[in-house]
Structure 1
Amino acid sequence: MKKIAAYILPLALMAASCAKQPQTSQQSTTDTAETTATATAFDANTAFGPDKVVELRQPESNKVIIKLMFKNGSMVDPKGKEGLTYTTAQMIAESGTKDMPVSEIKDKIFPWAAEYYSNVDKEVTTFTFAVHQDFLSEFYPIVRGLMLNPAFAEEDFKRVKSNQQNFVDQVIRASSDEEYSKKALEDLLFRGTNYQHMVEGNSASVPNITLEDVKSHWQNYFTKNNVMIGIAGNYSPDFLNQLKNDVAQLSAVQPSIPLAGEPNQPNGVQVEIIRKSDALGSAIFTGTPMPVTRSSDDFAALMVANSFLGEHRKSYGKLYDKIRTTRSMNYGDYSYIEWYDRGGNVQLPIPNVPRTSNYFALWIRPVQIAEGLKQQYAELSDINVGHAHFALRLAIREVDNLINKGMTQEEFELTRKFLRSYMKLYIQTTEKQLGFLMDSRFYGREDYIEEMDQLLANLTVEDVNKAVQKYWQTDNMFITIVTDDSEAEPLKEALLNNTPSPMSYSNLVKEGLPQEVLAEDDAIATYKLNVTDVKIVDSKDTFR
């Protein structure tokens, strides 16, 4: 745990610098929904409606940020037309207005350093608009036109849908096996529910989406009754009133929002191996249902345990230390207690992907397959399975150790100190501050970042260890592994039979390792996993 100390000072300094950014008044809100810091159950729908506004006034700022968050997301997609919410959001953002084509809009806003974009997740769709205050009066008519009078042009629809089809057919399978394994895990974990499909849809559903579907979906699911307005920066009361009045002109339909799909309960450790040609390694993602979200005070305790085990893209965690640093098996290994959007591209959590259905997950970045190891090292010519089985055993063993033995007082103090500084980096920009405040309302809170910091300050190591024992387990999990054709069958047999999986080092590496590492390797190699089912799926049959 000494490695964590190296992170605390620089992150604390960065957080302090972040706190010095101009904020001459605290956020206020016209949202009348009651919130408490001890919320454990919540109804996200109460955060949305005609009068739900989240404000972050910054009179000394030179920017204005507007966010419109709609309670819909991919879970409202009609059956057979999965991806429709994504198509609709893309058409609003990428098809201009009835008065101005998107190409002209982009040319016009470029000198203003203005931007706007959409983001669709399982339960919400968020549009973000940002502009320097000097150009707000010129930019706002574009904002208004995009939301109230989108062009929905046929040529733009063809372009948007073509890109969407290409993503679900090709990009997700080819661009990143890591992202592939994460999306495949959600497909498995939520199979049969409205959470199963990717927000972009699937290969069979995207062709079914028509431009008329998009127009109808906009009228029925992007309405004044399921919107939350967010505004930040240097704006006047008159401007806010204008924004509220314009948003009130959205469709008056009261959308029927379904309940979020709940994760399936795994029976033992259930594995799906996705085989593909020419995969360079085995990308692993695990998940098991967890009935805790940011709405619960217990989330703070799990944040500490999660950070200790393996904070996203940080090199001090137990998983990173054992798998990457000590054994040089891959680029990194991390733990998650909620969906981490765009994990392959970002270092810090991004806002506006709140969810009510949650799970605990481990991300084991690609490890080498047997074929690759044999080509590199003659002494490994007899192996049948690469590092995936060993890495999976090691990771699950570390979780079990945390569940059974808990954190020490020293480990707890260091991790909590790091986390309280690190969380301040989530809100370095005005856009992220506003985004996290809006997410807070979704979860029935006032200010998630501030409230979690207070909860962390009052935590004890006993609180953390009790929460881990209450909410985490490894006997029942879903696991997806994207790997090469050559590795799929041998790995399946090894997992089903709990075959010993000694770590495959080159002779040179093995000679330089301490005896305690080799002794730990022996214990890991036979660590029993409760594997009850392993299926092999061809890559071409996923996301159909």
Structure 2
Amino acid sequence: MKKLTAYILPVVLLAVACAKQPQVSEQTTTDTSAPATATTTTTPAAYDANMAFGPDKVVELKQPESNKVIIKLMFKNGSMVDPAGKEGLTYATARMITESGTKDMTVSQIKDKIFPWAADYYTNVDKEVTVFTFAVHKDFLNEFYPIVRGLMLNPAFAEADFKRVKANQLNFVDQVIRASSDEEYSKKALEDLLFRGTNYQHMVEGKTASVQNITLEDVKNHWRNYFTKNNLLIGIAGNYSTDFLNKLKADMAQLSDVKPNIPQAGNPNKPNGIQVEIIKKSDALGSAIFTGAPMPVTRSADDFAALMVANSFLGEHRKSYGKLYDKIRTTRSMNYGDYSYIEWYDNGGSFQLPNPGVPRTSNYFALWIRPVQIAEGLQKQYAELKDIDVGHAHFATRLAVREVDNLIKNGMTQEEFELTRKFLRSYIKLYIQTQEKQLGYLMDSRFYGRQDYIQELDRLLANLTVQEVNNAVKKYWQTENMFITIVTDDSEAEPLKQALLNNTPSPMSYSNLVREGLPQEVIAEDDKIANYKLNVKDVKIVDSKETFK
């Protein structure tokens, strides 16, 4: 645990700096007597996220010393409300609101006007919510606000803008997701497999055929029916007046009065053994691996804090002290990093810290194994490996699953627990370094039936025991039944399929030079990993051209 000890100090110092920011409070206009922070009572795992949304539902974060104002408008809809055959409609509608201007100004005119104010606005669509964010210096709030109001109440929905937005969206589902990042591709493919047959299956951007089916009239109708005052949560942070907030509330009350029929979120499928889909594509440089297993716990439950400790110990996103990172990257130099997750991590390829604005009620535990080398590449690099059939994917998958299995069976030691918990209590403060992130996490808290998730989480972590963490791991994690998606080169697909189906031993393929420098204990562990039995029941090969259709 020396690596973790060394990592904690800089994180603690940065977290302390963040903690010195002005203290703020938050309240909901529906209950102005509510305390700024919640009690430590257990929040039930079963909750109705719809309760957080509706007329006059507001989260405030007053910061009188701030020079900015942040407005967030969170709608309870997301891609799960997309009609069958028009998957991607929520995404297209949100994009049209922000990328088509207002009845009075084109989008180009808006961008020119707000540029001197250093103002910004954007949208993010996830499975269950769509969030619009507006940010501006307080001195320009009164000039910026008519644009905010116009975009939300009187979007232009211009035909030329629709053609552009739709073309970009179709290009993403047709080309970008398959070509730009195999890591992101494997994550989206896992969700397609994990939630197959439910309203969680499709990417928020939709599918090839469904995006082609979307019309401008569909967008207008979707705006009226699913971006309404009845499924809205308003968030506001910074230096603003009561009069301004009242104006914002009154204007948003002019949104459609339709009461949208929001469906229940689709539950993840239960895998029978380990089920694998290998997505083959030409000229892939490695094998990108993502695994997942249903997990019926979200931030709404106190057990989530215990799982956060175990998850961080196993492999915090983009951190080098985790077990997976240590075993796969540091010790064996197989790839750039390996991490675990207990909730969706939005745009993990770009962000070191988790983003708010993607709360979900359906959840799963996942492992991300960044691309490892394929046999074809190893053969070209090292003459001594010319006879191998499969690259590192089989070995790396076995290693990662075995680490989870070991944690389930053996648990964390007291020392490992204390160091990881200490790290986390500092690290989570970095989630809310900015006004925008603070407000976002407060709004997410309401979705999960909480008041202030970050503060509550700190108290939960403070009162945890190592036994509670180990019990939670045994209760919620398992390795016998999982989904795995692997994006790899077409030359690797069939040999990898056969190796997985037959549980063929998968000795680690080192170059002679690397092998000579390895400690004996690593070589001994490699032999155990190579023969570790995975409960593989089914392996399918899917052509990349056939995904997300």
2:30 paired with 1:47 = no
Provide the secondary structure at the position in 2 that maps to 1:167. helix
TM-score computed with the length of structure 2 as normaliser: 0.98
TM-align CA RMSD: 0.9
2:491 paired with 1:492 = no
The structural deviation recorded for 1:431 is 0.2
Deviation sequence 1:459-508 (CA, Å, 0-9, x none)? 00000000000000010000000000000000000000000000000000
8 Å CA contact 1:18, 1:424 repeated in 2: yes
Q: Counterpart of 1:164?
A: 169
Q: Counterpart of 1:16?
A: 16
* More displaced 10-residue stretch of structure 1: 116-125 or 32-41: 32-41
2:222 paired with 1:217 = yes
Deviation sequence 1:14-37 (CA, Å, 0-9, x none)? 0111112234x4222224499764
Q: Counterpart of 1:133?
A: 138
2:361 paired with 1:361 = no
Q: How much identity, in percent, do the aligned residues show? A: 83
Q: Counterpart of 2:437?
A: 432
Q: Counterpart of 1:304?
A: 309
2:368 paired with 1:334 = no
Q: Counterpart of 2:237?
A: 232
Q: Counterpart of 2:404?
A: 399
* Alpha-carbon separation, structure 1, partners of 2:42 and 2:163: 48
Q: Counterpart of 1:184?
A: 189
Q: Counterpart of 1:248?
A: 253
TM-score computed with the length of structure 1 as normaliser: 0.99
1:328 partner amino acid: S
Provide the secondary structure at the position in 1 that maps to 2:255. coil
Alignment of 1:126-525 (within 5 A): 126-525=131-530
2:302 partner amino acid: D
Q: Counterpart of 1:38?
A: 42
* Alpha-carbon separation, structure 2, partners of 1:397 and 1:199: 33
Provide the secondary structure at the position in 1 that maps to 2:486. strand
2:539 paired with 1:534 = yes
The structural deviation recorded for 1:259 is 0.3
Q: Counterpart of 2:2?
A: 2
8 Å CA contact 1:350, 1:432 repeated in 2: yes
* Alpha-carbon separation, structure 2, partners of 1:537 and 1:145: 45
* Alpha-carbon separation, structure 1, partners of 2:30 and 2:277: 44
1:360 partner amino acid: F
8 Å CA contact 1:68, 1:127 repeated in 2: yes
Provide the secondary structure at the position in 2 that maps to 1:534. strand
Provide the secondary structure at the position in 2 that maps to 1:404. helix
1:110 partner amino acid: F
* Alpha-carbon separation, structure 2, partners of 1:133 and 1:27: 19
8 Å CA contact 1:301, 1:459 repeated in 2: yes
* Alpha-carbon separation, structure 1, partners of 2:252 and 2:3: 50
8 Å CA contact 1:295, 1:445 repeated in 2: yes
8 Å CA contact 1:31, 1:54 repeated in 2: no
* Alpha-carbon separation, structure 2, partners of 1:315 and 1:19: 24
Deviation sequence 1:224-279 (CA, Å, 0-9, x none)? 00000000000000000000000000000000000000000000000000000000
8 Å CA contact 1:89, 1:118 repeated in 2: yes
* Alpha-carbon separation, structure 1, partners of 2:147 and 2:322: 46
The structural deviation recorded for 1:169 is 0.1
* Alpha-carbon separation, structure 2, partners of 1:87 and 1:475: 39
The structural deviation recorded for 1:301 is 0.1
Q: Counterpart of 2:62?
A: 57
Provide the secondary structure at the position in 2 that maps to 1:456. helix
Structure 2 residue ranges without an equivalent (≥5): none
1:118 partner amino acid: T
* Alpha-carbon separation, structure 1, partners of 2:189 and 2:275: 13
* Alpha-carbon separation, structure 2, partners of 1:353 and 1:101: 29
Provide the secondary structure at the position in 2 that maps to 1:67. strand
2:28 paired with 1:29 = yes
Structure 1 residue ranges without an equivalent (≥5): none
* Alpha-carbon separation, structure 1, partners of 2:450 and 2:533: 41
